[in-house]
Amino acid sequence: MVHHSYRDFRANVLTGTTNCRDEVDRALTQIEKHQRLGAFITVCADSARTAAEQADIRFRQGKPRPLEGLIVAVKDNISTRGIRTTCASRILENFVPVYNATVVERLVDAGAIIIGKTNLDEFAMGSSNENSWFGPARNPHNEHYVPGGSSGGSAVAVAARMAHVALGSDTGGSIRQPAAFCGLVGYKPTYGRVSRYGLVAFASSLDQIGPLAHTVEDVALVLQVMSGHDSNDSTSSMLPPISPDLSPFQNGEQRPTIGIVGGTFLEGVSPEVRQWYDYTIALLKEVGYATIEVDFYSVEAWIPTYYILATAEASSNLARYDGVRYGTRIDDPADIMTATRTACFGSEVKRRIMLGTYVLSAGYYDAYYRKAQKARRWIVDNYRQIFAQCDAILLPTTPTPAFRIGEKINDPLAMYLNDILTVSANLAGIPAISLPVGRTTNGLPIGVQLQAPFNADELLLRIARDLEQWITSANASPES
């Protein structure tokens, strides 16, 4: 397996104890050995070996670039030139893009090596990675459990040490939730700070690309390279790249105030998740953070608002798959479009296209879509009020730990409710991160989530780094 972090790996390359070619071979061996986990849709063995040899030359010349030799797994809804990009859909099963997503271009330019394209829920729609044309991905901590979704394959690749980091996309929690289920750090940036150019659109006003890794430091390293303005994305922020100061808070330095939740807000949260959430609050207080209980009065609107807006945007974005211009075609002379879409979209994608078309239809637009837009504004206002009282918010990432494969697949509503704690950050466009904090009694990881105001990515990462350190040094048992 590959090193736990890119930082450790790089240090070892610099002292001559390892090299990039060996590390890539370790990644490929691990991928081969654990094929059953379903992490990858496409593995780029040859190009990765070649890139590793070039990276070793740069190291030997003493000129390594910032991410030289970083092994990255890329979610298969992010375009890679010459490497098929399927979105885990039959409709794009053999689609090979002619250009790289901006994030891919930037990482490769900085020396990163693409090891392959990871499994996901079809078009990133799902929370379990079970909606994939290529079959499910499995949780490396227990194969009978889901790794989370939709960036399930990305989480598996990093957790099972097949890559140093992975890219995911987060429309309603798809980076943070699998990170929590697999024991990783997962980061959703402020909307606009990472380019969406080359990300296959699901719900454009919510989608963001972000990294999954074992450490906050690796997450920050990758973000620094891939964030920043991109003229190819009209929603791209003009701010400079995210470049946080991760130094610990000094003794005399005032620590940020953290908003916490309690009471009815946590009613649907499982006891073990609750226990580790309370543990994290206690830890924060112990090391000198002030906490304040905040009022999420908009919480009941989160899931309905998200699922109306996300499906509306999806129904429009997915209209481009007509069997004529892109991807797989079912050559039915009577009606190519219907035949193709019927045969090549999975049932969750169809459900969302129908739901989205319905909420946008002339007769129901005001009742659903327009109302959801108003609710979104109300949710943003709720956050604004909360951030007037605190610098960041601590929440659980998910209401439960990973669930069993098959447990929720026939109950879409139960699946949707799993997103209750993540979708609000997308609706508000704010940055959010999931950190591993502990485990259930049967060994499944549990995460906590930090959220910060719009564009406060740097502060969020600094707090996350600080908390990560305290969690690691307390070495985690909620009873102790």
List, by residue number, the catalytic residues: 75, 150, 174
Residue span 456-475 as binding mask against ligand GLN, x where in contact by CB under 6 A, dash where not: --------------------
Q: Which is nearer to ligand GLN, 97 or 126 (CB)?
A: 126
Q: Fill in the amino acid letter for 274.
A: R
Please answer whether residues 447 and 397 qualify as being in contact, where contact means their C-beta atoms are separated by less than 8 angstroms. yes
Contacts with ligand GLN in 302-321 (CB under 6 A)? Answer: 310
Contact call for residue 398 and ligand GLN (CB under 6 A): no
CB of 285 to ligand GLN, least distance (A): 31
Q: What are phi and psi of 362, to 5 degrees?
A: -50, -45
CB of 85 to ligand GLN, least distance (A): 16
Please answer whether residues 210 and 218 qualify as being in contact, where contact means their C-beta atoms are separated by less than 8 angstroms. no
CA distance 304 to 310: 10
Q: Which is nearer to ligand GLN, 161 or 188 (CB)?
A: 188
Beta bridge mates, 408? none
Contact call for residue 201 and ligand GLN (CB under 6 A): no
| Interface pick for ligand GLN out of 55, 67, 70, 125 (rule CB under 6 A) | 125
3-class state of residue 189 by DSSP: coil
Q: In which region does residue 247 sit, left (phi positive, over 0), alpha (psi from -120 to 50) or beta (all else)?
A: beta
Choose one: 125-133, 153-161, 290-298, 457-465; the region binding ligand GLN (CB under 6 A). 125-133
CA distance 226 to 249: 26
Q: What are phi and psi of 444, to 5 degrees?
A: -90, 140
Q: In which region does residue 199 sit, left (phi positive, over 0), alpha (psi from -120 to 50) or beta (all else)?
A: beta
Peptide bond into 150 cis (omega under 30): yes
# residues near ligand GLN by CB under 6 A: 14
Contact call for residue 170 and ligand GLN (CB under 6 A): yes
Q: What are phi and psi of 173, to 5 degrees?
A: 135, 5
Contact call for residue 171 and ligand GLN (CB under 6 A): yes
Q: Which is nearer to ligand GLN, 276 or 302 (CB)?
A: 302
Q: What are phi and psi of 169, to 5 degrees?
A: -130, 145
Which residue's Cβ lies closest to ligand GLN?
174
CA distance 125 to 37: 20
Q: Which is nearer to ligand GLN, 30 or 315 (CB)?
A: 315
CA distance 241 to 457: 10
CB of 72 to ligand GLN, least distance (A): 19
- Closest by CA position to 124, among listed 181, 184, 171, 185: 171
Choose one: 47-55, 123-131, 132-140, 373-381; the region binding ligand GLN (CB under 6 A). 123-131
Q: Which is nearer to ligand GLN, 272 or 419 (CB)?
A: 419
| Interface pick for ligand GLN out of 118, 174, 224, 440 (rule CB under 6 A) | 174
Contact call for residue 173 and ligand GLN (CB under 6 A): yes
Contact call for residue 119 and ligand GLN (CB under 6 A): no
CB of 284 to ligand GLN, least distance (A): 27
Contact call for residue 118 and ligand GLN (CB under 6 A): no
3-class state of residue 340 by DSSP: helix
| Interface pick for ligand GLN out of 80, 86, 118, 127 (rule CB under 6 A) | 127
| Interface pick for ligand GLN out of 23, 419, 457, 468 (rule CB under 6 A) | 419
CB of 168 to ligand GLN, least distance (A): 8
- 3-state DSSP of 282-330: HHHHHCCCEEEECCCCCHHHHHHHHHHHHHHHHHHHHHHCCCCCCCCCC
Q: What token pair was written down for 391?
A: 């610098």
Contacts with ligand GLN in 129-168 (CB under 6 A)? Answer: 150
Positions in the binding site for ligand GLN (CB under 6 A):
124-127, 150, 169-174, 202, 310, 419
